[in-house]
Amino acid sequence: MTAATHSTLFPQVPDSADAVLEGLDPEQREVATALHGPVCVLAGAGTGKTRAITHRIAYGVRAGILQPSSVLAVTFTNRAAGEMRGRLRQLGAQGVQARTFHSAALRQLQYFWPKAVGGGMPRLIDRKIQLVADAAAACRIRLDRGELRDVTAEIEWSKVTQTVPADYPLAAAKAGRETPRDVAEIAQLYSVYEDLKRSRSVIDFEDVLLLTVAILQDRHDIAEQVRAQYQHFVVDEYQDVSPLQQRLLELWLGNRESLCVVGDASQTIYSFTGATPDHLLDFRIRHPGATVVKLVRDYRSTPQVVRLANGLLAQAHGRAADHRLELVSQRAAGPEPGYTEYVDEPAEAEGAARRIRELIDASVPAAEIAVLFRTNAQSETYEQALADAGVPYQLRGAERFFDRPEVRKAGIALRGAARFGGNDALLDDVVDLPSQVRAVLSGEGWTTEPPAGSGAVRERWESLAALVSLAQDFAAARAGATLGDFVAELDERANAQHAPTVQGVTLASLHSAKGLEWDVVFLVGVAEGMMPISYAKTDEQVEEERRLLYVGVTRARERLYVSWSLARSPGGRPSRRPSRFLDGLRPGSTGTVGRSAGGAAGGIERGRATGGTAVPRRTQRTPARCRVCGRTLTDAGEMKLMRCDGCPSDMDEGIYERLREWRAEQALRSGQPDFCVFTDKTLMAIAESVPEDYPELSRIPGVPARKLKLYGAAVLAICAGRSTAQDDERD
């Protein structure tokens, strides 16, 4: 079995339910196997929450405990739902519904409308802003473009918080809303907007949820039909649930408790849309018997990035901050975050573009670099700077990959070649799949070298190049794959919105970067007035801005660059200062770092219903201390070694090298990366302690029971200077 067979893009489907659990850490495994009763997963950034919940669904399906058609997994974006469907497909759990709240509700509304209401369902409008403009005209209220957008947002907020027009003024005041116009005017516009919708027989996206809720509340027979169909629910990003979505979820559930929710209060960044972390934080109150699992092992970011992220939250205040999770990096050390001050915004953009050009020239893929900013208006300066530096880029939030015209045309061409390839002169001299795809796409504009500059021509080439790259990965993972197989793979990916990687630096707002990650992240414009944004006035608004920066920091896997400028334009007054959120964290700054510790540790709490009262059980964890100097250890690598990185090592170099050679053989035999057998730090810990028996070996962090059973005999043989072959024969 070759390593290519285990490509991360095209992994082999696990051959059993137990195989689905392989590679999960103890907390993730607890999530995956907790299939009964309510489960709440508090998952920090980069801790593998999507992995945990998709493996939970797949394990339940593969073990025969869950019927695929009875599971409904809901999240908040089409991209996230598509990714979930793609992962479930790779785990052999086809047939599970993974949708957004709106998509699931719309499907039910379309199906039940004739029975519940009768006749045809009203037309769904994609954008409500024109209807709001018509309402303003009818009220003789003049709104500029910004006010029109903001009033539309107020109407959306009112609907997801289930606020009717007459109640808007009081609700807005109670919520501390910064309203773009007088609250009475907005209430009037909202009322007329609703009248116009009725007169034109149209509904908006919020109506989809409201109408579905109304039908399920009023028609018990329909509600029971839905509950008979869906018996197990998984909700991702639960901190972003609005009151309306929570009500819909409660109606789906009925009086059952087969619910798993996943979220992180420290990543609540959409409260302006009505999202609230209260449902996540109050889950244990509503479900006293719930199992609560905390994921804090950060597999995404280096200890240096994680240290900054933890430092940001250590200064936070409020309810979400009280429930923050202290991340523990599981990665090797990397470079410290870089901090740069520029004279003005164009200089900042040019500086970022210059450094990005250097990274790409040093073989860092452009697709693994992102520039993140607070507002979309900042994008143009960076687009120009990257174009001037000859760096390809893509705008996050642009048209979905499989909806692009060039991708649709390429799909048609590939499908035709798959059917009639024997009569296609382009394919006469090519035999392998990647060559066939390159030959077909050359007729659509793909060339071996990218076009110069940026713009539409470059973007089309990048789309086709992504398909060529995908074909290479597909062929490497599936020997003997045909062009027809590749077309079928594209169709499945299009249905799941599982897009391939486009080679270009990503430009994105911090809000749209949620859920994504890159090797290198540039956080730009991190200055007062932009971060926090100038209109964040209340303590709650400022804390949400802090959480937004935390989300940006935790997008970086290896390298993080933070920058700000003193003036907006060349020659402007240098009146800006770095964001207050960086005080005490960036080199040379002063300020209190806040609570250096005290975030929730990872672990499991199981609720037990005893006479209606929950009895939580916590896993007890004593602080890990360096066995040389006695300092408390927090870094995952240091905890494995049970000593500080700077303290002297007494490692047996000979045993360490024999362990590395043995690990390489095991990894080759199983088709896994080396670290899946044991990490370097675990091997170092073994070589330092040289265990003599199973109890001593089991006490080393990084040697769980499963690995002790698999590899214990061989490891102990190496430590004792014996041949591993002899122990293998005895086993």
64 in a known ligand binding site:
no
44 in a known ligand binding site: yes
Its sign, for the CA torsion 661, 664, 670, 672, is positive
Q: How many CB atoms lie within 10 A of CB 225?
A: 15
Rounded to whole angstroms, the Cα distance separating 247 from 241 reads 10
Q: Distance between CA atoms of 315 and 359, rounded to whole angstroms? A: 32
Q: Is the link from the previous residue into 701 a cis peptide, with omega within 30 of 0?
A: no
In whole angstroms, what is the distance from residue 22 CA to residue 269 CA?
A: 33
* Residue 46 is assigned to a ligand binding site: yes
Q: Is 239 exposed, middle or buried (0-12, 13-18, 19+ CB in 10 A)?
A: buried
Residues 557 and 331: their CA atoms lie apart, in Å, by 9
Angle at 685 between CA 683 and CA 691, to 5 degrees: 95
Phi-psi region of 590 (alpha: psi -120 to 50; beta: other; left: phi over 0): beta
Calculate the CA 200 to chain-centre distance.
Answer: 39
Considering Cα of 354, then 300, then 275, then 193, what sign does the dihedral take?
A: positive
Q: Is 455 left (phi over 0), alpha (psi -120 to 50) or beta?
A: left
**Residues 6+ positions from 174 with CB-CB distance below 8 Å:** none
Residue 548 CB burial class (10 angstroms; 0-12, 13-18, ≥19): buried
Q: What DSSP string runs through 404-449?
A: SHHHHHHHHHHHHHHHHGGG-GGGTT--SHHHHHHHHHHTTT--SS
DSSP designation for 371: E
Tell me the CB-side half-sphere exposure of residue 11, using CA atoms within 13 A.
16
Kind of pairing between the strands at 556-567 and 518-523: parallel
E-only strand ranges, 433-504: none
Nearest-10 Cα torsion for 693, 695, 699, 703? 70
Do 164 and 190 touch, CB atoms closer than 8 A? no
Exposed (0-12), middle (13-18) or buried (19+): which is 20, by Cβ within 10 Å?
A: buried
For the chain, report the end-to-end CA distance as a whole number of angstroms: 24
Which letter does DSSP use for residue 618 in this model? B
* Count of all residues that appear for the chain in the document: 731
Q: Are 603 and 27 in contact (CB under 8 A)?
A: yes
43 marked as part of a ligand binding site: yes
Q: Is 50 annotated to bind ligand?
A: yes
Is the alpha carbon torsion for 189, 193, 194, 195 positive or negative?
positive
Q: Residue 105: what residue type?
A: A
Neighbours of 576 (CB within 10 A): 20
Q: State the Rg of the chain over Cα.
A: 28
Rounded to whole angstroms, the Cα distance separating 532 from 269 reads 13
Residue 47 in marked binding region: yes
- Does 63 belong to an annotated binding site? no
Q: Which residues of 598-648 form beta strands (DSSP E)? A: 603-605, 609-610, 613-614, 624-625, 632-633
Is residue 537 marked as binding?
Answer: no
Burial status of residue 72 (CB atoms within 10 A of its CB: 0-12, 13-18, 19 or more): buried
CA-to-CA dists, residue 420 to 115, 337, 424, angstroms: 47, 54, 7
Report how far residue 463's alpha carbon sits from residue 402's, in angstroms, rounded to the nearest whole number.
Answer: 9
Residue list, annotated binding site: 43-50
Residues at the binding site for ATP are 43-50
